Amino acid sequence: MARWPAEVPLAALVSGDESEWSRWSVLAVPDEWQSLAPTASRAEATAWLRALARSCIGDAAMPGDGGCILQLGYELGAALEPATNATAQHSDDSHAWPLAQAASIITAAVHDARTNRWFRVGHAHEAWATIEQAMQYPQPRRHFTLGSLQPTSSDADYAALVQRTHELICAGDLFQANIARVWQGDGEGDPRAFALAALSKSHARYGAWLETPAGFIASMSPELFLHLDCNGRLVTRPLKGTRPAGADTDAFLKSSKDAAELHMIVDLMRNDIARACDPGSVCVHQARAAEPHTTVLHGVAEIHGRLRRDRDAADLVAATFPPGSITGAPKVRAMQVIRELENFDRGPFFGAIGLLGGDGTLSLNVAIRTATLQSRESPRCWRVRYAAGCGIVSDSIIEEEVRETHAKAQVLHRAVDALRHAEVASPAPAAHAG
């Protein structure tokens, strides 16, 4: 990524370990981005997903035999299920995000973490000669400065949202809702320097950097939403329950509140994937484990299923999106409460990013720990935004939920500190996008 030429667009999926679901990293030259309008109806959203799945089949020779880079915005869920009443309402139109974006992969550099090998895939393209030439030279310096990132609402305001959610839960309205808040700041310089700092400091298992017409997206996600292999085997690994990094693992695992958060979402995800899976194939492979990440400790579960033969990746997305871990239970009511209480459009936050393969495979993260960069008055001036949320349940303690949002924002603060204290090596600004 550091040597990727400025004149060549970039869509990168950067994995952080050697597991079955995150062994591949893909640095791709994307074709023209296709988008789904924010006002799309359910029929239009479903048709867009089906057309995308058809167009990817038999594409270039990528792992999974071809495909597209895919970004799904949170509000796509409202288009797929209008009863949620979660359509975009708050955004300034000049900064609105599409419901979804996708781009076919022209050519790509692919890394296999298991074998530590790089190789080139995709169609022959003039961009590859430019990329190869750039790899021959030392990494030029690239810079991005970012002022302080501040929450757009106070801790007291967020505490009031938690209190209201708790009241709704105690009234029997719902069992859990994931309520989020936003951090915001202004930056200047080369956005790829920001991407390098964010991804290198987070060690994200399911990281991504997308340069799209609507803006840039840096995802430092630790969470796998969906992994569908070429044999129809499906895995989802929801995260729920959080402690700061270094917290006592045994105490965390004994917490009934954190366990309840996860168990509710396990039930929800079982139900969601069952809508597209063979009857009887859905099972909980792992009910709950503690999983350490760079800045936090999470509870994780693992659920397996097998996709029905008459279903494809588009059907799977339509049945499960948005991820249950960032909505709540029951899902539709949780999304209604989120819409009622949050004063911002989530857009790329809490959606999904990944690869739709030409053989019908699908790998998507949950777009948590995600920042967006959108151009301001000058091509080198950027509005940086980041969102973090907490699963609110009946046992939630307001002060702890407030602290949890700050713990989840630490991954971005680490990137900001890296930008302040060290120069990031890479090429000149990516003036082609944003």
**What pLDDT digit, counting tens, does each position of 121-147 carry?**
887 678 888 998 888 887 777 789 988
**Angle of helix 398-421 versus helix 191-202 axis, rounded to 10:** 120
Tokens of 375: 């151009």
Give the chain's mean pLDDT: 89
Beta carbons of 130 and 5 less than 8 angstroms apart: yes
Per-residue pLDDT, 215:
95
Triad 254, 365, 60: Cα angle to 5°: 150
Beta carbons of 99 and 385 less than 8 angstroms apart: no
The helix/strand/coil state of 147 is coil
Triad 281, 289, 293: Cα angle to 5°: 120
Catalytic residues: 223, 240
The helix/strand/coil state of 9 is coil
CA distances from 356 to 50, 72, 76, 365 (A): 12, 12, 17, 12
**Nearest CA among 172, 255, 199, 163 for reference residue 369:** 199
Strand pairing of 352-357 and 67-72? antiparallel
What is the Cα–Cα distance from 432 to 211, expressed in whole angstroms? 9
Please provide the DSSP assignment of 152-220 as one string.
Answer: SS-HHHHHHHHHHHHHHHHTTS-SEEEEEEEEEEEEEE-HHHHHHHHHHHH--TEEEEEEETTEEEEEE
What is the Cα–Cα distance from 63 to 359, expressed in whole angstroms? 9
**What CATH code is assigned to 11-425?**
3.60.120.10
Tokens of 62: 């990528």
Can you name the residues that pair with 296 across neighbouring β-strands? Answer: 244
Q: What are phi and psi of 314, to 5 degrees?
A: -65, -40
What is the Cα–Cα distance from 355 to 59, expressed in whole angstroms? 12
Tokens of 43: 């029929």
Tens digits of per-residue pLDDT, 389-398? 999 999 999 9
**Nearest CA among 289, 298, 264 for reference residue 369:** 298
Tokens of 3: 């040597």
Beta carbons of 368 and 352 less than 8 angstroms apart: no
Q: For the chain, which residues make up each domain, given as ranges?
A: 11-425
Tokens of 119: 């190789």
Please tell me the pTM assigned to this model. Answer: 0.92
Per-residue pLDDT, 88:
58
* Residues with Cβ within 8 Å of residue 434, at least 6 apart in sequence: 191, 211, 212, 213, 215, 216, 373, 374, 375, 379, 382
- Spans of the chain, pLDDT less than 50: 59-64, 423-434
